[in-house]
Structure 1
Amino acid sequence: MGQKINPIGFRLGINRTWDSRWFADNAEYGQLLHEDLKIRAYLMSELKQAGIAKVVIERPHKKCRVTIHSARPGLIIGKKGADIEKLRKAISTMTSSETHLNIVEVRKPEIDATLVGQSIAQQLERRVAFRRAMKRAVQSAMRLGAEGIKITCAGRLGGAEIARTEWYREGRVPLHTLRADIDYGTAEATTAFGICGIKVWIFKGEILEHDPMASERRGLEGDAQGPASRERNDRGGRRERENA
């Protein structure tokens, strides 16, 4: 089962938690769910170049708090916070609640599965050889502290007539070990020959305590080792590139 199921869904309530964190009665549930889907689709389409790792939506009493985890927060915030205010107004039109927008910087995009998948997809669209893109991503992840990584690319790779699946793995990726902190992400590359699908699994170590927030807290603690604050609430700021 661990080989087939989504690794994040498999670990929900154990060491992972949901990206939509709210409760609603039956009358409101459908409306709020569609609002979440609209907000996520809008952010993913508008902020393609900002490296969006995930979008967390919380709904305290009559409010909607949207937290965007991004590798390049400067592109979202804009000059003197102008772009983030436009974004907040656009999101507020999609929901009936008062909207608050937070930006959290992802300090190590090389070990975030979603961002790794997006990076490989962009390289395939630029006609970079798929083996080179996969190998480069694996080497970067292992160098920055991942204990294991697996990447699969499927489709008409290299313009081949017949679609196939290629994969590359290094280190351990124990998918059936529930205490394993495994990040999972997918991406699509739209090439001249059709769509190629990319899947990425990254093993970051084991979490022994039973805590749904453990994986997220661990990531923030790791990010906090850098000199700058990781979370910015409607303020400006640019990402400092690490020369690894």
Structure 2
Amino acid sequence: MIEREFVAQKAKEYYIRKYIEEKLPRSSISQIRLKKIPLGEKIIISTNRPSMIVGSKGANIRDLTKNLKKKFGLENPQIEIEEVKDAFLDAQIVAERIASSLEKFGSNRFKSVGHKIMENVINSGALGVELVISGKIPGARAKSWRFYQGYLKKCGDLSIEKVRRAQARALLKTGIIGIKVAIMPPGLDMPDSVKIRDQSAVDARAEEVAVVMETVVEKEEGKAEKKKTRSPKKKKVAEEKAEEKIEAPVADTESKEGSESTN
């Protein structure tokens, strides 16, 4: 069945991603994408630390390729590294960093970790950020702590398509801690944004409009003058035609009278 093959293929891709995440440092991995190419399988790893993923002289990539062939039966896996320019604008990397910090320092320092990460995200140029840490922190009862700063869209197309969201988990002695991250990246055109222009720019624009209006008025006046100069000529032509019509019958009557006198 086609459905079973599709489900089996997606399950295989899921296990490949999980295996790569276990073998590589997760705090530096943004996403793992798998593509089918004519030469085999292409695995794209987005990271902010390419040298750590590649290893010394490509040792990590070679070991990972060999293990993927043996464990998952991939014919010719080709691993490609894609660099993430700013790690604090990538929601998945931020979530994984919070998780690794909680596992390293414990749940007692979760507030300092949240505030520090939030400030780094805003300093990187993000318009807004929201961090939600849920679990048994700092006491025995489960709670949700929210850290937010800036402007963040919660609904609409802008929230669905542009806001970057990610989730991660941290395993502590008290239990699993869930982390949710939402980042609004810089450079977005808001539908409700209001831009205040400088007075100099407004004056310059007004001068441009005034010049354009003057040229339009001059053109209209020139057209009106041309129409006025043409109208007397038309009147003269009409009068001359009328005179010719009047003279023609008079000439005819004179010719008739001359013929009668000869008779």
Q: Equivalent residues in 2 for 1:2-81 (5 A)? A: 25-26=2-3, 28-48=5-25, 51-61=28-38, 63-81=40-58
1:104 aligns with 2:97: no
What is the identity, as a one-letter code, of the residue corresponding to 1:130? Answer: F
Q: Equivalent residues in 2 for 1:205-224 (5 A)? A: 205=186, 206=188
What is the identity, as a one-letter code, of the residue corresponding to 2:140? Answer: E
Q: Is the CA contact (8 Å cut-off) linking 2:27 and 2:100 kept in structure 1?
A: no
Match of 2:133 among 130, 153, 163: 153
Match of 2:118 among 138, 141, 151: 138
Between the two proteins, the alignment pairs up a number of residues equal to: 184
| Identity across matched positions, percent | 23
- Match of 2:96, SS state, is helix
Q: CA RMSD in A?
A: 2.1
Q: Which runs of 5+ in 2 are unaligned?
A: 191-263
Q: Is the CA contact (8 Å cut-off) linking 2:68 and 2:74 kept in structure 1?
A: no
Q: Equivalent residues in 2 for 1:196-207 (5 A)? A: 196-205=177-186, 206=188
1:116 aligns with 2:97: no
2:145: which partner in 1?
166
Give 1:107 deviation, angstroms: 2.3
Deviations 1:3-30 (A, max 9, x none): xxxxxxxxxxxxxxxxxxxxxx546323
Give 1:188 deviation, angstroms: 1.1
1:177: which partner in 2?
156
Separation (CA, whole Å) in 1 of partners of 2:29 and 2:99: 14
1:191 aligns with 2:201: no
Q: Is the CA contact (8 Å cut-off) linking 1:35 and 1:95 kept in structure 2?
A: no
Which of structures 1 and 2 has the larger relative contact order (alpha carbons within 8 angstroms, sep 6+)?
A: 1
Separation (CA, whole Å) in 1 of partners of 2:16 and 2:37: 17
Give 1:98 deviation, angstroms: 2.2
What is the identity, as a one-letter code, of the residue corresponding to 2:176? Answer: I
Looking at secondary structure, tell me which structure has more strand per residue: 1
TM-score (norm 2): 0.65
Task: Indicate the structure (1 or 2) with the bigger Cα radius of gyration.
Answer: 2
Separation (CA, whole Å) in 1 of partners of 2:27 and 2:80: 14
- Match of 1:198, SS state, is strand
TM-score (norm 1): 0.69
Give 1:177 deviation, angstroms: 2.7
2:231: which partner in 1?
none
1:217: which partner in 2?
none
